[in-house]
Amino acid sequence: VYEDEAGQAQEGTIAVDPRTLQSMGVRTAKAEVRELGRTIRAVGKVTFDERRLTVVTTKISGWVERLYVKAGGDPVRRGQNLISLYSPELVTTQEEYLLALRHLKSLEKSGLPEYQEAARRLLTATRQRLRYWDIPESQITALERTGEVKKTLTLVSPVSGIVVKRQVTQGMMVQAGMPLLEVADLSTVWVEADIYEYELPWVKVGQHAHMTLTYLPGETFHGTVQYIYPYLKEATRTARVRLSVPNPGLKLKPEMFAQVEIVSPVREPAVVVPAEAVLDTGDKQHVFVALGGGRFEPRPVKVGLRGSDGLIQVLSGLKGGEEVVTSAQFLLDSESRFREAIAQMLKGGEAKGAPAEKAPAMPPGHKH
């Protein structure tokens, strides 16, 4: 290491002999202005789409007279019969409805409007009670037409899907509000993946993602980022990301693991350098800029996002086309600190060797 022969090197720079540079293994790279992107890889777990889960329940108590679904895992279609319930309360209400209907018809020619109105209100209230129990309008109309009381209420599937929970058996007594079956629409599933905290700036809702499974080699599934959970896992310091993935053929099954890749959008062109060129002291970052002729300048910079290709964004302190050191910069850093320390010592010595100012002369006649 030597000083510039033409005089002292510029303040803040260091000069290194070319042979010494070669033995130190100093390598450089140019700062580029280019777009920065990142692909985030994580392990995901397939789960049910909670928005496509439906619980089949009843609003009336009774007994399971017939169970059309024999086991969990059975596929069902929208409108398919699931359970027939016998309910004494349902039978009584239908009989009350028929009685109110006959009473209203008998009062139509009576000429007593107040009695007709009371019978009409009774009929409406009884009909409304049947509606509250989800008795279909077609069944109420058939009751009016035929006068035949149905002793069972048939529950149908509100969606097409797979029965994932069956909580009743044939002949069982059920109470109003009790969950009987749970049906899942698996045409779309969720995939939940954990990503690291520093990867969060790259992930946005709506981004494209694709995934593969070990049991289906060579097949790729595509989805989108639907939600980013607003908290981290305490143990792993990772954030959970939810993907929505179409599931044709029901190949994706809940509880499966998958390899997920989230493709981040390409950022606007910015100055980027290899990540190894940046020296990070904890409170600040700097790089060594190669000035040519064996001269180097330590320069503070402000860095931004890290790309997946080993590049890091430089927000300030560097321009495109400048050459930075990518290896052995720690040796240059120690040399720079050594020179700084020597300069401080020299300044301190000069201050100590300076002649002291003369004390002002005492005025004549002054005595202590």
290 and 248 Cβ atoms separated by less than 8 Å: no
226 and 205 Cβ atoms separated by less than 8 Å: yes
**Per-residue pLDDT tens for 241-250?**
999 999 999 9
9 Cβ contact list (under 8 Å, min separation 6): 3, 15, 295
Least confident of 90-94, 166-170, 289-293, 339-343: 339-343
Taking 70 as the threshold, does the pLDDT of residue 278 lie above it?
yes
Measured distance CA(347)–CA(344) in Å, rounded: 5
- The overall pTM is greater than 0.85: no
C-alpha angle with apex 291: 288 to 296, nearest 5 degrees?
Answer: 40
248 Cβ contact list (under 8 Å, min separation 6): 187
Taking 50 as the threshold, does the pLDDT of residue 3 lie above it?
no
For the chain, domains (ranges, CATH) are 14-36+268-350 (2.40.420.20), 39-50+186-263 (2.40.30.170), 58-184 (2.40.50.100)
Phi first, then psi, for residue 140 (nearest 5°) are: -70, -40
Measured distance CA(195)–CA(51) in Å, rounded: 23
The residue to which tokens 């010595």 are assigned: 349
Split at pLDDT 50, 70, 90, the class of 5 is very low
Measured distance CA(241)–CA(231) in Å, rounded: 10
Measured distance CA(264)–CA(360) in Å, rounded: 75
**Per-residue pLDDT tens for 257-275?**
999 999 886 667 888 888 8
pLDDT at 342: 52
pLDDT at 266: 65
pLDDT at 12: 64
**Per-residue pLDDT tens for 27-42?**
888 888 887 778 899 9
Measured distance CA(225)–CA(223) in Å, rounded: 7
> CA-CA distances (angstroms) from residue 214 to 42, 224, 279, 300, 368?
14, 21, 40, 47, 100
> Mean pLDDT, to the nearest integer, of 56-78?
92
> Mean pLDDT, to the nearest integer, of 172-193?
95
Q: What is the dihedral of CA 58, 61, 66, 70, to 10 degrees?
A: 50
Neighbours of 365 (CB within 10 A): 5
The share of the chain scoring above pLDDT 90, in percent, equals 37
Measured distance CA(297)–CA(7) in Å, rounded: 17
**Per-residue pLDDT tens for 319-356?**
888 988 888 766 666 656 655 555 556 555 555 555 54
The share of the chain scoring above pLDDT 70, in percent, equals 84
Would you mind telling me the total number of residues written for the chain in this entry?
368
Compute the chain's Rg from CA coordinates: 41
pLDDT at 7: 41
pLDDT at 6: 39
Taking Cα atoms as reference points, which of 273, 261, 257 lies closest to residue 310? 273
pLDDT at 368: 46
pLDDT at 226: 96
Q: Locate 91 and state its tokens.
A: 């039978």
User: Average pLDDT over the chain, rounded to whole?
Assistant: 83
The residue to which tokens 């009473």 are assigned: 103
Instruction: Name the E strands within 185-251.
Output: 188-196, 208-212, 220-232, 238-246
Measured distance CA(345)–CA(339) in Å, rounded: 10
Phi first, then psi, for residue 15 (nearest 5°) are: -120, 140
37 and 272 Cβ atoms separated by less than 8 Å: no
Q: Locate 90 and state its tokens.
A: 């349902």
Split at pLDDT 50, 70, 90, the class of 164 is very high
Question: Using N-to-C axis directions, what is the helix angle for 113-132 and 137-146, rounded to 10°?
Answer: 130
